[in-house]
Homo-oligomer: A and B are copies of this chain.
Amino acid sequence: MAFSAMIHNHLPATVNAGINRISAINAHREVVFDHPKTNKATNYKGARRLAESLSSLLNLHIETPLRKTNLQQSNNWDNLFHEEKHDTPTTSPKESVADKWRELHGSMDWNNLFDPLHPWLRREIVKYGEFAQATYDAFDFDSHSEYCGSCRYNRNRLFEKLGLTKNGYKVTKYIYAMSHIEMPQWLERSHLMDTWSKDSNWMGYVAVSDDEETRRIGRRDIVVAWRGTVVPSEWYEDFQRKLEPIGLGDSKVEHGFLSIYTSKDESTRYNKSSASDQVMKEVMKLVKFYEGKGEQVSLTITGHSLGGALALLNAYEAALHFPGLPVSVISFGAPRVGNCAFRDELDELGVKTLRVIVKQDLVPRMPGIVFNESLEKFDDITGTLEWVYTHVGAELRLDVTSSPYLKRGFNPLGFHSLETYLHLVDGYLSAETTFRSDARRDVSLVNKACDMLVDELRIPTCWYQLANKGLVCNEHGRWVKPRRDPEDIPSPIGSETHDHSLRLEMQQSYKMLYAS
């Protein structure tokens, strides 16, 4: 999503025409007439030129023919997908991973787990990816809503609403962020005057494993999931003067990310304290509580796109504050964040980072790739930037062409989509082999917010939507936007109440532990 916005911002209208056209056709299929034959040729021209520029830059073969795969490729997709797959569960039984957990979280830098990808690691990656995906799925993007930019559900209902209770975690705290730096379009804002917040967005959450999952993984795992939304375009426009120091050494990071992570303002409702303050306070509380109970505790931070960048800043800070606490980052499609000193310091602090990237996705190449508006092509300036921004940790590199379910062709939105990432992780065996034939994750999810699945699968594009955009017909026959359930209305006071109820819960669980 963020990436699509970037493309829009930096391409001339004609190129946007092609890209918008695709979205418009897909989104409106139910209400506006689709007439591909006459128009596509004209409107795709811009997109094609863009694709050519990109593909030559990235040495991609856009129209790669389907590779032979482990799947029995046949023209009969009905049999392949509909009959074989519809009636099988999307998950396999869960094994206890307690003994291997430290390794799964990078204690050996994942050296022995990538080739082939260990099935337990695959499951862990998908689990954290789904935590990150939840920050999109529950986000209120409706600019006509007074709650635009908030989470649609309160923290006690989030996982239940999204079908994620199966993961065995419980949300304990929502994180809000703002920014002092003028970064157009990272913040979702309501068009209305009277809104829940003018300055802040819901930016993620803290969750903790329940007793059952804790037993399975052998420790109390605290998760922080960060939402990604920033428009990458803003990062690199003048990145040279936008590196800012972090910590006491030579570490420097992109100042836009840092601003979102650290900004606060007494006059706001949700950011009297910064995202950093909020998350660190919550993690501190949880660590103290569970360590006080004699449990092993770990911290795993996840995020997609901008969320991956925030995850790294968060991990840096947490590792500084909690020496000895295992801190790992599992990020998806994240951009570069800081300089070599930042990378080295993260290493020294023992932060283990697993960066999942898709080869065709441009965002992980940022900052370092710019769109030359006059030449209408992309320039790779990574060479000159290498000394400035650098990636950290281990990289799990996925390839769109490995999946027989995915369309070929230039699709920046699809390449960057987190659901595309999770699909490719699910099918990944090794860099040499192709898509796993026994992958079970629901393929339909890929098209939630993009157009990546081959037509034969008959999955609508961008299908993740509310019935009638949330309008309901009331008893008088009028279509109205229902008020949110009071318990789902964001409120800084409410969050204090949550803190209180968390304390009660903790006290109770503490008592129970000692009673048993």
Q: Which residues of A contact B (CB under 8 A)?
A: 1-2, 4-5, 8-9, 12-14, 16-18, 20-21, 23-24, 27-35, 37-39, 42-43, 45-46, 85-91, 141-145, 163, 184-185, 188, 191-192, 229, 231, 413, 442, 444-445, 448-449, 455, 458-460, 462-471, 473-474, 476-481
| Min CB gap A87→B, angstroms | 6
Residues of B within 8 A of A470 (CB): 460
Within the assembled complex, what's the spacing in Å between the Cα atoms of A18 and B12?
Answer: 12
Residues of B within 8 A of A39 (CB): 8-9, 16
Within the assembled complex, what's the spacing in Å between the Cα atoms of A35 and B10?
Answer: 12
Residues of B within 8 A of A449 (CB): 31-32
Which of B8, B27, B141, B413 is in CB contact (< 8 Å) with A35? Answer: B8
Question: Are B24's CB and A5's CB within 8 A?
Answer: no
> Can you report 8 A-B residue pairs in the complex whose CB atoms are below 8 A from each other?
A12-B42, A13-B46, A16-B42, A23-B28, A90-B478, A144-B459, A191-B455, A465-B468
| Min CB gap A296→B, angstroms | 31
7 extra A-B contacts, CB within 8 A, seeds A8-B35, A38-B184, A90-B477: A1-B32, A13-B46, A31-B465, A33-B229, A35-B184, A458-B481, A463-B468
Question: Are B30's CB and A141's CB within 8 A?
Answer: yes
Question: Are A444's CB and B27's CB within 8 A?
Answer: no
Q: Which B residue sits closest to A466, measured CB to CB?
A: B467
Residues of B within 8 A of A473 (CB): 163
Question: Are A185's CB and B469's CB within 8 A?
Answer: no
Within the assembled complex, what's the spacing in Å between the Cα atoms of A18 and B16?
Answer: 10
Question: Are B86's CB and A476's CB within 8 A?
Answer: yes
Within the assembled complex, what's the spacing in Å between the Cα atoms of A471 and B185?
Answer: 31
Question: Are B142's CB and A30's CB within 8 A?
Answer: yes
Question: Are A30's CB and B459's CB within 8 A?
Answer: no
| Min CB gap A195→B, angstroms | 11
Q: Which B residue sits closest to A477, measured CB to CB?
A: B90
Within the assembled complex, what's the spacing in Å between the Cα atoms of A35 and B481?
Answer: 23
Within the assembled complex, what's the spacing in Å between the Cα atoms of A2 and B35?
Answer: 11
| Min CB gap A330→B, angstroms | 22
| Min CB gap A84→B, angstroms | 12
Residues of B within 8 A of A185 (CB): 33, 35, 38
Residues of B within 8 A of A467 (CB): 465-467
| Min CB gap A42→B, angstroms | 5
Which of B20, B88, B477 is in CB contact (< 8 Å) with A442? Answer: B477
Point out which of A23, A34, A469 has the most chain B C-beta atoms below 10 A from its C-beta.
Answer: A469
Which of B35, B43, B184, B462 is in CB contact (< 8 Å) with A13? Answer: B43
Within the assembled complex, what's the spacing in Å between the Cα atoms of A173 and B505?
Answer: 62
Residues of B within 8 A of A469 (CB): 30, 460, 463, 465
Question: Are A444's CB and B465's CB within 8 A?
Answer: no
Which of B12, B33, B471 is in CB contact (< 8 Å) with A2? Answer: B33
Q: Which 7 A-B pairs have the closest CB atoms?
A: A27-B27, A467-B467, A17-B17, A460-B469, A444-B479, A31-B449, A463-B469
Within the assembled complex, what's the spacing in Å between the Cα atoms of A145 and B455?
Answer: 11
Residues of B within 8 A of A23 (CB): 24, 27-28, 32
Within the assembled complex, what's the spacing in Å between the Cα atoms of A144 and B469?
Answer: 21
Q: Say yes or no: A143-B86 contact (C-beta < 8 A), given A16-B21, A27-B28.
A: no
| Min CB gap A144→B, angstroms | 5
Residues of B within 8 A of A17 (CB): 13-14, 16-17, 20-21
Within the assembled complex, what's the spacing in Å between the Cα atoms of A437 and B464?
Answer: 39
Q: Say yes or no: A33-B20 contact (C-beta < 8 A), given A442-B478, A469-B460.
A: no
Within the assembled complex, what's the spacing in Å between the Cα atoms of A479 and B86?
Answer: 9
Q: Say yes or no: A144-B471 contact (C-beta < 8 A), given A465-B31, A476-B90.
A: no
